[in-house]
Amino acid sequence: MIRTIIVFCLFFPFFICHSQTNDSVVIRKLFNEALSDHTSYKNLEFLCTRIGGRICGSPQAEKAVQWTKEVLDGMDLDTVFLQECKVRYWVRGETEEVIVNPGKKSSIRLNACAVGGTVGTGEKGITANVIEVYDFEELKKLGKDEIEGKIVFFNHPANPAVYYTFEAYGGVAKYRVYGATEAAKYGAIAVVVRSATLAHDDYPHTGILHYADTIKQIPAMAVSTNDADKLSKQLKQDSGLNLFLRLTSTEQPETMSHNIIGEIRGTEFPEEVIVFGGHLDAWDNGQGAHDDGAGIVQTIEVLRLFKTLGIKPKRTIRFVAFMDEEMDQRGAKAYAAYAKQMLDNGYLILDKNNASSIIQHPVSAGFESHLAAIEADRGGSTPFGFSIDGTDEQLQKIKSWKDLFYPYGIYSLEKGGSGVDVGKLKPLGTALIALVTDSQRYFDYHHSPNDTFDKVNQRELQLGSFSIAALVFLIDKYGL
Protein backbone atom coordinates (compact mmCIF):
# COMPACT_ATOMS: atom_id res chain seq x y z
CA MET A 1 0.00 0.00 0.00
CA ILE A 2 2.79 2.44 0.95
CA ARG A 3 4.55 1.64 -2.33
CA THR A 4 1.34 2.33 -4.19
CA ILE A 5 1.05 5.72 -2.51
CA ILE A 6 4.68 6.61 -3.31
CA VAL A 7 4.29 5.65 -6.98
CA PHE A 8 0.98 7.49 -7.09
CA CYS A 9 2.62 10.59 -5.58
CA LEU A 10 5.32 10.70 -8.25
CA PHE A 11 2.72 11.20 -10.94
CA PHE A 12 0.02 13.22 -9.27
CA PRO A 13 -0.02 16.58 -7.55
CA PHE A 14 0.58 16.64 -3.85
CA PHE A 15 -2.96 17.58 -2.84
CA ILE A 16 -4.50 14.50 -4.47
CA CYS A 17 -2.04 12.26 -2.65
CA HIS A 18 -2.58 14.06 0.56
CA SER A 19 -6.29 13.57 0.20
CA GLN A 20 -5.98 9.85 -0.62
CA THR A 21 -3.83 9.42 2.47
CA ASN A 22 -6.44 11.21 4.54
CA ASP A 23 -9.10 9.01 3.02
CA SER A 24 -7.20 5.88 3.87
CA VAL A 25 -6.93 7.08 7.47
CA VAL A 26 -10.68 7.63 7.74
CA ILE A 27 -11.39 4.32 6.03
CA ARG A 28 -9.06 2.55 8.45
CA LYS A 29 -11.01 4.12 11.32
CA LEU A 30 -14.29 2.94 9.83
CA PHE A 31 -12.82 -0.55 9.55
CA ASN A 32 -11.51 -0.61 13.12
CA GLU A 33 -14.82 0.54 14.53
CA ALA A 34 -16.95 -1.76 12.35
CA LEU A 35 -14.88 -4.82 13.26
CA SER A 36 -14.62 -4.04 16.95
CA ASP A 37 -18.23 -3.26 17.76
CA HIS A 38 -21.01 -5.81 18.17
CA THR A 39 -24.10 -3.65 17.72
CA SER A 40 -25.04 -4.86 14.26
CA TYR A 41 -24.66 -8.52 15.20
CA LYS A 42 -26.79 -8.01 18.31
CA ASN A 43 -29.38 -6.20 16.19
CA LEU A 44 -29.44 -9.16 13.83
CA GLU A 45 -29.88 -11.56 16.72
CA PHE A 46 -32.87 -9.59 17.96
CA LEU A 47 -34.48 -9.31 14.56
CA CYS A 48 -34.04 -13.02 13.84
CA THR A 49 -34.67 -14.67 17.18
CA ARG A 50 -37.08 -12.26 18.87
CA ILE A 51 -39.11 -11.28 15.82
CA GLY A 52 -38.27 -13.96 13.27
CA GLY A 53 -39.94 -14.44 9.86
CA ARG A 54 -41.79 -11.23 8.96
CA ILE A 55 -43.62 -11.40 5.69
CA CYS A 56 -45.32 -8.12 4.78
CA GLY A 57 -48.70 -7.52 6.36
CA SER A 58 -47.99 -9.87 9.27
CA PRO A 59 -47.87 -8.91 12.96
CA GLN A 60 -44.17 -9.83 12.89
CA ALA A 61 -43.53 -7.34 10.07
CA GLU A 62 -45.29 -4.68 12.13
CA LYS A 63 -43.15 -5.59 15.13
CA ALA A 64 -40.05 -5.28 12.94
CA VAL A 65 -41.16 -1.81 11.81
CA GLN A 66 -41.57 -0.66 15.41
CA TRP A 67 -38.26 -2.19 16.43
CA THR A 68 -36.36 -0.56 13.56
CA LYS A 69 -37.93 2.80 14.40
CA GLU A 70 -36.87 2.41 18.03
CA VAL A 71 -33.32 1.54 17.04
CA LEU A 72 -33.10 4.61 14.80
CA ASP A 73 -34.75 6.83 17.42
CA GLY A 74 -31.98 5.85 19.81
CA MET A 75 -29.21 6.95 17.45
CA ASP A 76 -29.48 10.73 17.66
CA LEU A 77 -30.13 11.07 13.93
CA ASP A 78 -31.38 14.26 12.29
CA THR A 79 -34.55 12.71 10.92
CA VAL A 80 -36.37 9.43 11.52
CA PHE A 81 -39.72 8.81 9.89
CA LEU A 82 -42.07 6.15 8.66
CA GLN A 83 -43.34 6.13 5.12
CA GLU A 84 -46.64 4.42 4.42
CA CYS A 85 -47.14 1.69 1.88
CA LYS A 86 -50.13 -0.59 1.54
CA VAL A 87 -49.14 -4.25 1.30
CA ARG A 88 -50.61 -7.67 0.59
CA TYR A 89 -51.04 -10.03 3.48
CA TRP A 90 -50.70 -13.63 2.42
CA VAL A 91 -50.96 -16.22 5.19
CA ARG A 92 -49.39 -19.64 4.74
CA GLY A 93 -51.97 -21.55 6.79
CA GLU A 94 -51.51 -24.51 9.10
CA THR A 95 -51.32 -27.34 6.61
CA GLU A 96 -48.70 -28.02 3.97
CA GLU A 97 -48.78 -31.57 2.71
CA VAL A 98 -47.44 -33.33 -0.34
CA ILE A 99 -47.91 -37.10 -0.17
CA VAL A 100 -46.85 -39.60 -2.81
CA ASN A 101 -49.23 -42.55 -3.26
CA PRO A 102 -51.76 -41.33 -0.72
CA GLY A 103 -53.66 -43.98 1.20
CA LYS A 104 -51.27 -46.75 0.13
CA LYS A 105 -48.76 -48.66 2.23
CA SER A 106 -45.99 -47.17 0.11
CA SER A 107 -47.12 -43.58 0.68
CA ILE A 108 -44.39 -41.04 1.49
CA ARG A 109 -44.73 -37.53 2.80
CA LEU A 110 -42.37 -35.06 1.14
CA ASN A 111 -40.72 -32.03 2.73
CA ALA A 112 -42.82 -29.32 1.18
CA CYS A 113 -44.01 -25.77 1.63
CA ALA A 114 -46.44 -23.46 -0.06
CA VAL A 115 -44.99 -21.16 -2.69
CA GLY A 116 -45.49 -17.54 -1.59
CA GLY A 117 -48.76 -16.02 -2.72
CA THR A 118 -50.30 -19.30 -3.84
CA VAL A 119 -53.99 -20.06 -3.58
CA GLY A 120 -54.89 -22.94 -1.27
CA THR A 121 -56.23 -26.37 -2.16
CA GLY A 122 -59.18 -26.19 0.23
CA GLU A 123 -59.38 -28.22 3.45
CA LYS A 124 -59.89 -31.50 1.64
CA GLY A 125 -56.82 -31.17 -0.52
CA ILE A 126 -56.51 -32.59 -4.02
CA THR A 127 -55.33 -35.92 -5.38
CA ALA A 128 -54.26 -36.37 -8.97
CA ASN A 129 -51.82 -38.01 -11.33
CA VAL A 130 -48.44 -36.29 -11.38
CA ILE A 131 -46.35 -35.61 -14.46
CA GLU A 132 -42.70 -34.52 -14.36
CA VAL A 133 -41.42 -31.84 -16.72
CA TYR A 134 -37.97 -30.37 -17.09
CA ASP A 135 -38.84 -26.97 -18.51
CA PHE A 136 -41.49 -24.84 -20.20
CA GLU A 137 -40.57 -26.24 -23.65
CA GLU A 138 -41.34 -29.75 -22.51
CA LEU A 139 -44.58 -28.55 -20.93
CA LYS A 140 -45.59 -27.02 -24.24
CA LYS A 141 -44.69 -30.18 -26.17
CA LEU A 142 -46.76 -32.35 -23.85
CA GLY A 143 -49.66 -29.93 -24.27
CA LYS A 144 -53.22 -30.20 -23.09
CA ASP A 145 -53.52 -33.91 -23.96
CA GLU A 146 -50.93 -34.93 -21.40
CA ILE A 147 -51.30 -32.17 -18.84
CA GLU A 148 -55.01 -31.60 -18.30
CA GLY A 149 -56.30 -32.67 -14.87
CA LYS A 150 -52.80 -33.48 -13.58
CA ILE A 151 -50.34 -32.05 -11.11
CA VAL A 152 -47.24 -30.80 -12.92
CA PHE A 153 -43.91 -31.45 -11.21
CA PHE A 154 -41.23 -29.00 -12.40
CA ASN A 155 -37.95 -30.72 -11.72
CA HIS A 156 -35.23 -28.48 -13.09
CA PRO A 157 -32.05 -28.62 -10.98
CA ALA A 158 -30.06 -25.41 -10.57
CA ASN A 159 -26.85 -25.44 -12.60
CA PRO A 160 -23.89 -26.15 -10.30
CA ALA A 161 -21.37 -25.24 -13.01
CA VAL A 162 -21.54 -21.47 -12.53
CA TYR A 163 -19.37 -19.45 -10.16
CA TYR A 164 -21.83 -16.77 -9.08
CA THR A 165 -24.81 -18.68 -7.70
CA PHE A 166 -27.33 -15.92 -8.41
CA GLU A 167 -26.97 -16.98 -12.03
CA ALA A 168 -27.94 -20.56 -11.16
CA TYR A 169 -30.88 -19.29 -9.12
CA GLY A 170 -31.98 -17.03 -11.96
CA GLY A 171 -32.08 -20.06 -14.25
CA VAL A 172 -34.59 -21.97 -12.09
CA ALA A 173 -36.60 -19.46 -10.06
CA LYS A 174 -38.85 -18.96 -13.10
CA TYR A 175 -40.46 -22.37 -12.52
CA ARG A 176 -41.53 -21.24 -9.06
CA VAL A 177 -42.58 -17.78 -10.25
CA TYR A 178 -44.41 -18.69 -13.47
CA GLY A 179 -44.83 -22.48 -13.25
CA ALA A 180 -48.41 -22.39 -11.94
CA THR A 181 -49.58 -20.01 -14.66
CA GLU A 182 -47.79 -21.86 -17.47
CA ALA A 183 -49.13 -25.24 -16.33
CA ALA A 184 -52.67 -23.88 -15.85
CA LYS A 185 -52.69 -22.86 -19.53
CA TYR A 186 -52.74 -26.58 -20.36
CA GLY A 187 -55.32 -27.50 -17.73
CA ALA A 188 -53.05 -28.58 -14.84
CA ILE A 189 -54.77 -28.47 -11.45
CA ALA A 190 -51.68 -27.78 -9.31
CA VAL A 191 -47.89 -27.63 -9.52
CA VAL A 192 -45.03 -28.90 -7.41
CA VAL A 193 -41.61 -27.32 -8.01
CA ARG A 194 -38.13 -28.39 -7.08
CA SER A 195 -36.69 -25.89 -4.58
CA ALA A 196 -34.56 -23.19 -6.20
CA THR A 197 -31.26 -23.99 -4.50
CA LEU A 198 -27.97 -25.70 -5.24
CA ALA A 199 -28.02 -27.48 -1.88
CA HIS A 200 -28.99 -31.14 -1.65
CA ASP A 201 -30.96 -31.32 1.55
CA ASP A 202 -34.42 -31.60 3.05
CA TYR A 203 -35.37 -27.93 3.28
CA PRO A 204 -38.15 -26.71 1.03
CA HIS A 205 -37.62 -23.13 -0.24
CA THR A 206 -40.45 -20.72 -0.77
CA GLY A 207 -40.56 -17.44 -2.74
CA ILE A 208 -43.12 -15.46 -4.66
CA LEU A 209 -45.18 -16.67 -7.63
CA HIS A 210 -47.02 -14.53 -10.15
CA TYR A 211 -50.43 -15.35 -11.50
CA ALA A 212 -51.76 -13.86 -14.73
CA ASP A 213 -55.12 -12.11 -14.64
CA THR A 214 -56.64 -14.18 -17.40
CA ILE A 215 -55.34 -17.63 -16.42
CA LYS A 216 -56.86 -19.86 -13.75
CA GLN A 217 -54.99 -19.63 -10.42
CA ILE A 218 -53.85 -23.08 -9.28
CA PRO A 219 -52.00 -24.05 -6.08
CA ALA A 220 -48.20 -24.28 -6.06
CA MET A 221 -45.91 -26.04 -3.61
CA ALA A 222 -42.15 -26.47 -3.42
CA VAL A 223 -40.39 -29.68 -2.37
CA SER A 224 -36.84 -30.05 -1.08
CA THR A 225 -34.17 -31.02 -3.60
CA ASN A 226 -33.69 -34.42 -1.94
CA ASP A 227 -37.40 -35.11 -2.23
CA ALA A 228 -37.54 -33.85 -5.81
CA ASP A 229 -34.90 -36.46 -6.64
CA LYS A 230 -36.87 -39.09 -4.74
CA LEU A 231 -40.12 -38.27 -6.53
CA SER A 232 -38.39 -38.27 -9.90
CA LYS A 233 -36.89 -41.68 -9.21
CA GLN A 234 -40.28 -43.08 -8.23
CA LEU A 235 -41.89 -41.65 -11.34
CA LYS A 236 -39.34 -43.48 -13.46
CA GLN A 237 -40.52 -46.74 -11.89
CA ASP A 238 -44.22 -45.90 -11.93
CA SER A 239 -45.43 -43.15 -14.24
CA GLY A 240 -48.97 -43.51 -12.91
CA LEU A 241 -48.14 -42.13 -9.45
CA ASN A 242 -50.69 -40.04 -7.60
CA LEU A 243 -49.90 -37.05 -5.43
CA PHE A 244 -52.00 -35.65 -2.63
CA LEU A 245 -51.62 -31.91 -2.02
CA ARG A 246 -53.09 -29.92 0.78
CA LEU A 247 -52.36 -26.35 1.73
CA THR A 248 -54.55 -23.89 3.51
CA SER A 249 -53.02 -20.55 2.61
CA THR A 250 -55.25 -17.51 2.41
CA GLU A 251 -55.04 -13.96 1.14
CA GLN A 252 -56.11 -11.49 3.82
CA PRO A 253 -57.18 -7.90 3.07
CA GLU A 254 -54.35 -5.52 2.24
CA THR A 255 -52.97 -3.67 5.22
CA MET A 256 -50.96 -0.50 5.85
CA SER A 257 -47.27 -0.97 6.46
CA HIS A 258 -44.17 1.22 6.34
CA ASN A 259 -40.67 1.86 5.13
CA ILE A 260 -38.50 3.15 7.95
CA ILE A 261 -36.12 5.97 7.16
CA GLY A 262 -33.32 7.52 9.18
CA GLU A 263 -30.83 10.11 8.01
CA ILE A 264 -27.96 12.42 8.82
CA ARG A 265 -28.53 15.71 6.98
CA GLY A 266 -25.68 17.00 4.85
CA THR A 267 -23.81 20.06 6.05
CA GLU A 268 -23.15 21.54 2.58
CA PHE A 269 -25.48 19.85 0.10
CA PRO A 270 -28.38 18.47 2.13
CA GLU A 271 -30.51 18.25 -1.02
CA GLU A 272 -28.16 15.62 -2.48
CA VAL A 273 -29.07 12.25 -1.02
CA ILE A 274 -27.07 9.04 -0.75
CA VAL A 275 -29.38 6.17 0.12
CA PHE A 276 -28.45 2.75 1.48
CA GLY A 277 -30.62 -0.04 2.81
CA GLY A 278 -32.08 -3.49 2.59
CA HIS A 279 -35.50 -5.04 2.98
CA LEU A 280 -37.09 -5.53 6.36
CA ASP A 281 -39.66 -8.15 5.34
CA ALA A 282 -38.59 -11.77 5.18
CA TRP A 283 -40.30 -15.06 4.38
CA ASP A 284 -42.31 -16.52 7.22
CA ASN A 285 -40.72 -19.99 7.14
CA GLY A 286 -37.32 -18.89 8.46
CA GLN A 287 -35.76 -16.04 10.44
CA GLY A 288 -34.73 -13.92 7.47
CA ALA A 289 -31.11 -13.78 8.64
CA HIS A 290 -29.17 -13.66 5.37
CA ASP A 291 -32.27 -12.51 3.47
CA ASP A 292 -32.30 -9.77 4.45
CA GLY A 293 -31.81 -9.15 8.16
CA ALA A 294 -28.10 -8.90 7.39
CA GLY A 295 -28.62 -6.09 4.87
CA ILE A 296 -30.82 -4.20 7.33
CA VAL A 297 -28.40 -4.28 10.25
CA GLN A 298 -25.38 -3.61 8.03
CA THR A 299 -26.91 -0.45 6.64
CA ILE A 300 -28.17 0.78 10.03
CA GLU A 301 -24.55 0.29 11.08
CA VAL A 302 -23.38 2.76 8.43
CA LEU A 303 -25.22 5.51 10.32
CA ARG A 304 -23.77 4.34 13.62
CA LEU A 305 -20.24 4.39 12.20
CA PHE A 306 -20.63 7.98 10.96
CA LYS A 307 -22.10 9.08 14.29
CA THR A 308 -19.55 7.29 16.45
CA LEU A 309 -16.57 8.56 14.48
CA GLY A 310 -18.00 12.06 14.29
CA ILE A 311 -17.94 12.10 10.48
CA LYS A 312 -20.26 14.89 9.36
CA PRO A 313 -21.34 14.21 5.80
CA LYS A 314 -21.59 17.09 3.32
CA ARG A 315 -24.51 15.38 1.63
CA THR A 316 -27.52 13.77 3.25
CA ILE A 317 -26.90 10.11 4.00
CA ARG A 318 -30.09 8.12 4.40
CA PHE A 319 -30.90 4.60 5.53
CA VAL A 320 -34.08 3.04 4.18
CA ALA A 321 -35.57 -0.21 5.48
CA PHE A 322 -37.76 -1.19 2.55
CA MET A 323 -40.97 -3.08 3.27
CA ASP A 324 -42.30 -5.82 1.01
CA GLU A 325 -39.42 -6.70 -1.26
CA GLU A 326 -40.46 -10.32 -1.34
CA MET A 327 -44.00 -9.97 -2.66
CA ASP A 328 -44.66 -6.80 -4.59
CA GLN A 329 -42.03 -4.19 -3.65
CA ARG A 330 -44.71 -1.78 -2.46
CA GLY A 331 -42.19 -0.14 -0.12
CA ALA A 332 -39.68 0.43 -2.93
CA LYS A 333 -42.45 1.81 -5.14
CA ALA A 334 -43.61 4.19 -2.39
CA TYR A 335 -40.04 5.34 -1.81
CA ALA A 336 -39.40 5.88 -5.53
CA ALA A 337 -42.64 7.89 -5.80
CA TYR A 338 -41.45 10.02 -2.91
CA ALA A 339 -38.01 10.49 -4.46
CA LYS A 340 -39.55 11.53 -7.79
CA GLN A 341 -41.85 13.97 -6.06
CA MET A 342 -38.96 15.50 -4.16
CA LEU A 343 -36.94 15.83 -7.37
CA ASP A 344 -39.72 17.28 -9.53
CA ASN A 345 -41.63 19.44 -7.12
CA GLY A 346 -39.87 19.35 -3.79
CA TYR A 347 -43.02 19.25 -1.73
CA LEU A 348 -44.91 16.58 0.10
CA ILE A 349 -47.68 14.40 -1.20
CA LEU A 350 -50.42 13.99 1.33
CA ASP A 351 -53.11 12.33 -0.69
CA LYS A 352 -55.33 10.46 1.71
CA ASN A 353 -57.35 8.94 -1.14
CA ASN A 354 -54.39 7.15 -2.59
CA ALA A 355 -52.98 5.25 0.35
CA SER A 356 -49.96 3.89 -1.48
CA SER A 357 -48.72 7.40 -2.20
CA ILE A 358 -49.09 8.83 1.27
CA ILE A 359 -45.77 10.16 2.34
CA GLN A 360 -44.97 11.58 5.73
CA HIS A 361 -41.90 13.68 6.18
CA PRO A 362 -41.62 15.65 9.38
CA VAL A 363 -39.09 18.20 8.17
CA SER A 364 -39.90 20.99 5.79
CA ALA A 365 -38.62 19.65 2.53
CA GLY A 366 -36.98 21.37 -0.36
CA PHE A 367 -35.98 19.79 -3.64
CA GLU A 368 -33.98 16.62 -3.35
CA SER A 369 -32.02 14.53 -5.80
CA HIS A 370 -30.74 11.01 -5.29
CA LEU A 371 -27.08 10.77 -6.13
CA ALA A 372 -26.58 7.10 -5.34
CA ALA A 373 -28.53 4.21 -3.84
CA ILE A 374 -26.76 1.20 -2.38
CA GLU A 375 -28.57 -2.05 -1.66
CA ALA A 376 -27.42 -4.83 0.65
CA ASP A 377 -29.51 -7.87 -0.26
CA ARG A 378 -27.15 -10.64 -1.29
CA GLY A 379 -26.62 -12.25 2.08
CA GLY A 380 -24.35 -11.50 5.02
CA SER A 381 -21.31 -13.44 3.81
CA THR A 382 -17.89 -11.96 3.05
CA PRO A 383 -18.18 -9.02 0.66
CA PHE A 384 -15.76 -8.68 -2.21
CA GLY A 385 -17.04 -5.77 -4.23
CA PHE A 386 -19.74 -3.56 -5.59
CA SER A 387 -21.85 -4.00 -8.68
CA ILE A 388 -22.56 -0.64 -10.28
CA ASP A 389 -25.44 0.31 -12.53
CA GLY A 390 -24.56 3.84 -13.56
CA THR A 391 -22.82 5.90 -16.22
CA ASP A 392 -19.28 5.08 -17.39
CA GLU A 393 -18.12 8.22 -15.63
CA GLN A 394 -19.62 7.09 -12.33
CA LEU A 395 -18.08 3.66 -12.78
CA GLN A 396 -14.63 5.15 -13.47
CA LYS A 397 -14.90 7.36 -10.42
CA ILE A 398 -15.69 4.44 -8.14
CA LYS A 399 -12.91 2.41 -9.76
CA SER A 400 -10.46 5.24 -9.00
CA TRP A 401 -10.95 4.40 -5.30
CA LYS A 402 -9.87 0.79 -5.72
CA ASP A 403 -6.59 1.18 -3.83
CA LEU A 404 -8.53 2.42 -0.82
CA PHE A 405 -10.75 -0.66 -0.82
CA TYR A 406 -8.21 -3.29 -1.79
CA PRO A 407 -6.61 -3.81 1.67
CA TYR A 408 -10.03 -4.81 2.98
CA GLY A 409 -10.87 -7.48 0.41
CA ILE A 410 -13.01 -5.26 -1.80
CA TYR A 411 -11.44 -5.82 -5.19
CA SER A 412 -14.34 -6.05 -7.63
CA LEU A 413 -15.81 -2.72 -8.72
CA GLU A 414 -17.66 -3.63 -11.87
CA LYS A 415 -20.63 -2.64 -13.99
CA GLY A 416 -23.66 -4.80 -13.22
CA GLY A 417 -27.09 -5.09 -11.70
CA SER A 418 -28.04 -3.52 -8.38
CA GLY A 419 -31.07 -4.62 -6.38
CA VAL A 420 -34.83 -4.95 -6.57
CA ASP A 421 -35.56 -2.09 -4.15
CA VAL A 422 -33.09 0.57 -5.26
CA GLY A 423 -33.78 -0.46 -8.85
CA LYS A 424 -37.04 1.48 -8.67
CA LEU A 425 -34.97 4.70 -8.58
CA LYS A 426 -33.51 4.01 -12.01
CA PRO A 427 -35.80 6.47 -13.87
CA LEU A 428 -34.43 9.27 -11.68
CA GLY A 429 -30.90 8.76 -13.00
CA THR A 430 -29.58 7.67 -9.59
CA ALA A 431 -26.40 5.57 -9.60
CA LEU A 432 -27.53 2.14 -8.37
CA ILE A 433 -25.10 -0.03 -6.49
CA ALA A 434 -25.19 -3.46 -4.83
CA LEU A 435 -22.84 -4.86 -2.23
CA VAL A 436 -21.52 -8.09 -3.73
CA THR A 437 -20.84 -10.96 -1.36
CA ASP A 438 -19.56 -14.50 -1.55
CA SER A 439 -22.62 -16.28 -2.90
CA GLN A 440 -21.57 -19.93 -2.53
CA ARG A 441 -23.76 -20.69 0.49
CA TYR A 442 -26.44 -18.03 0.06
CA PHE A 443 -29.01 -20.19 -1.70
CA ASP A 444 -28.58 -22.97 0.88
CA TYR A 445 -30.43 -20.60 3.23
CA HIS A 446 -32.46 -18.32 0.98
CA HIS A 447 -36.25 -18.47 1.60
CA SER A 448 -35.98 -21.60 3.73
CA PRO A 449 -36.23 -22.59 7.41
CA ASN A 450 -32.45 -22.80 7.24
CA ASP A 451 -32.06 -19.00 7.01
CA THR A 452 -31.36 -18.48 10.70
CA PHE A 453 -29.17 -16.19 12.81
CA ASP A 454 -26.54 -18.85 13.50
CA LYS A 455 -25.75 -19.03 9.77
CA VAL A 456 -24.38 -15.48 9.76
CA ASN A 457 -20.78 -14.95 10.80
CA GLN A 458 -20.15 -11.80 12.81
CA ARG A 459 -16.94 -10.75 11.06
CA GLU A 460 -18.37 -11.33 7.62
CA LEU A 461 -21.38 -9.24 8.58
CA GLN A 462 -19.15 -6.46 9.93
CA LEU A 463 -17.05 -6.45 6.75
CA GLY A 464 -20.21 -5.69 4.80
CA SER A 465 -21.14 -2.75 7.05
CA PHE A 466 -17.63 -1.38 6.77
CA SER A 467 -17.54 -1.69 2.98
CA ILE A 468 -20.79 0.20 2.51
CA ALA A 469 -19.73 2.87 5.01
CA ALA A 470 -16.43 3.37 3.18
CA LEU A 471 -18.23 3.75 -0.14
CA VAL A 472 -20.76 6.18 1.34
CA PHE A 473 -17.88 8.18 2.81
CA LEU A 474 -16.15 8.48 -0.57
CA ILE A 475 -19.32 9.28 -2.53
CA ASP A 476 -20.20 11.89 0.06
CA LYS A 477 -16.77 13.47 -0.07
CA TYR A 478 -16.24 13.47 -3.84
CA GLY A 479 -19.74 13.27 -5.26
CA LEU A 480 -20.55 10.90 -8.11
Burial of 223 (0-12, 13-18, 19+ CB in 10 A): buried
**Binding flags for Zn ion, 185-224, as an x/- string (CB under 5 A):** ----------------------------------------
DSSP states of 405-447 as a string?
Answer: HGGGT--EEEE----TTGGGGGGGT-EEEEEEE--TTHHHHTT
Closest CA to 153 of 127, 120, 190, 126: 190
Distance CA 438, CA 248 (A): 37
Q: To the nearest whole angstrom, how small is the minimum distance from the Cβ of residue 277 to Zn ion?
A: 12
Between 259 and 357, whose beta carbon lies closer to Zn ion? Answer: 259
Between 20 and 448, whose beta carbon lies closer to Zn ion? Answer: 448
Give yes or no for a contact between 394 and 480, defined as CB atoms under 8 angstroms apart.
Answer: yes
Between 263 and 291, whose beta carbon lies closer to Zn ion? Answer: 291
Give yes or no for a contact between 222 and 194, defined as CB atoms under 8 angstroms apart.
Answer: yes
Q: To the nearest whole angstrom, how small is the minimum distance from the Cβ of residue 311 to Zn ion?
A: 28
- Selected binder of Zn ion within 227, 292, 368, 375 (CB under 5 A): 292
* Residues β-bridged to residue 86: 256
Task: Tell me how far CA of residue 424 lies from CA of 166, 360, 420, 427, in angstroms.
Answer: 20, 19, 7, 7
Q: To the nearest whole angstrom, how small is the minimum distance from the Cβ of residue 325 to Zn ion?
A: 6
For residue 23, give the 3-state DSSP assignment.
helix
Residues 86-115 contacting Zn ion, CB under 5 A:
none
C-alpha angle 7-8-12 in degrees, rounded to nearest 5: 125
Give yes or no for a contact between 35 and 469, defined as CB atoms under 8 angstroms apart.
Answer: no
Q: To the nearest whole angstrom, how small is the minimum distance from the Cβ of residue 420 to Zn ion?
A: 7
Scanning 42-50, 221-229, 292-300, 345-353 for contacts with Zn ion by CB under 5 A, the matching segment is 292-300
Between 198 and 245, whose beta carbon lies closer to Zn ion? Answer: 198
Beta strand residue intervals within 242-397, DSSP E: 242-247, 250-264, 269-279, 315-322, 369-375, 383-389
Q: How many residues does the chain have?
A: 480
Distance CA 419, CA 433 (A): 8
Q: To the nearest whole angstrom, how small is the minimum distance from the Cβ of residue 79 to Zn ion?
A: 26
Scanning 128-136, 153-161, 287-295, 458-466 for contacts with Zn ion by CB under 5 A, the matching segment is 287-295
Q: To the nearest whole angstrom, how small is the minimum distance from the Cβ of residue 89 to Zn ion?
A: 19
Between 292 and 444, whose beta carbon lies closer to Zn ion? Answer: 292
Residue count, binding to Zn ion (CB under 5 A)? 3
Between 284 and 377, whose beta carbon lies closer to Zn ion? Answer: 377
Q: To the nearest whole angstrom, how small is the minimum distance from the Cβ of residue 116 to Zn ion?
A: 12
Q: To the nearest whole angstrom, how small is the minimum distance from the Cβ of residue 377 to Zn ion?
A: 4
Using the CB atoms, write b or e for 178-213: b if 16+ within 10 Å. Answer: bbbbbbbbbbbbbbbbbbbbbbeebbbbbbbbebee
Between 227 and 292, whose beta carbon lies closer to Zn ion? Answer: 292
Q: To the nearest whole angstrom, how small is the minimum distance from the Cβ of residue 284 to Zn ion?
A: 14
Between 23 and 377, whose beta carbon lies closer to Zn ion? Answer: 377
Between 316 and 329, whose beta carbon lies closer to Zn ion? Answer: 329
Scanning 107-115, 219-227, 263-271, 286-294 for contacts with Zn ion by CB under 5 A, the matching segment is 286-294
Q: To the nearest whole angstrom, how small is the minimum distance from the Cβ of residue 186 to Zn ion?
A: 32
Note whether 324 binds Zn ion by CB under 5 A.
Answer: no
Scanning 221-229, 267-275, 291-299, 411-419 for contacts with Zn ion by CB under 5 A, the matching segment is 291-299
Residues 330-389 contacting Zn ion, CB under 5 A:
377
Give yes or no for a contact between 219 and 118, defined as CB atoms under 8 angstroms apart.
Answer: yes
Between 241 and 320, whose beta carbon lies closer to Zn ion? Answer: 320
- Selected binder of Zn ion within 291, 324, 375, 421 (CB under 5 A): 291
Distance CA 248, CA 93 (A): 5
Distance CA 346, CA 340 (A): 9
Contact residues for Zn ion, defined by CB under 5 A: 291-292, 377
